[in-house]
Amino acid sequence: MYDLPVAVAGTGDAIAAEGLSDRVSVQHGNYLTDEIGEGYDVVLCFFLLHNHTDGDNKRLVAKMGKALNPEGMVVVHEFLRDERPDAFNALYSLLFFMYSAGRNYSYQEITGWLADAGLSGFNRIDLPPNGQSSLIMAVKGG
C-alpha cells in the first residue's frame, strides 16, 4: 500500500490484524513526485486517475509499469467516460476538474497510457450496478 501518510493511517494495523503483514506492506510517499519502488507482482490503482491531469497520469502509469516484475499486472479501477459522456460522467468530470484539474478518462486514454508503459493484454470488466465503474487489467511483457 503506497500513499500519503494520512491516507494510510491505521492501514498497517488492519493488515496485521488480518494476518497479511508478510504479503502486504504500507509505504508512505507521494506517488506523483516520489518513486514507488520495484519488484511488484501486482499494482492496484483504484480511483486515483480522475484526480489528476493527463500528464500526471501518464507519468504515474509509467511508474507503475516500471515497478512491476515481468508478467506483473496493473489493475485500474475507475469511472470510465464514453466519447459522449452521460449525465453522471459529465457531472463527475466537472466536479473533479474544479477540485483537482482532473476528470473522467476513457478506456482508450487509460489503455494508451498503459501501452506506453510497456503493458498489454488489456481486459475490461464493467462492474454493477450500472457498469459505471470498471476494472482495466494489463500485464507487463516478459
Beta-strand pair 27-28/2-3: parallel
pLDDT one-digit tens code per residue, 63-100: 999 999 999 999 999 988 877 767 777 777 777 777 77
* Pairing label, strands 40-46, 119-127: unpaired
- What are the φ and ψ backbone dihedral angles of 132, each rounded to 5 degrees? -75, -35
Domains in the chain, please, with CATH? 1-30 (no CATH), 41-140 (3.40.50.150)
DSSP-derived secondary structure for 73-112: EEEEEEEBPPSS--HHHHHHHHHHHHHHS---B-HHHHHH
| 123-137 residue pLDDT tens | 999 998 776 789 999
Tens digits of per-residue pLDDT, 31-56? 899 999 999 999 999 989 988 999 99
User: Tell me, what's the pLDDT at 28?
Assistant: 86
Q: Are 111 and 138 in contact (CB under 8 A)?
A: yes
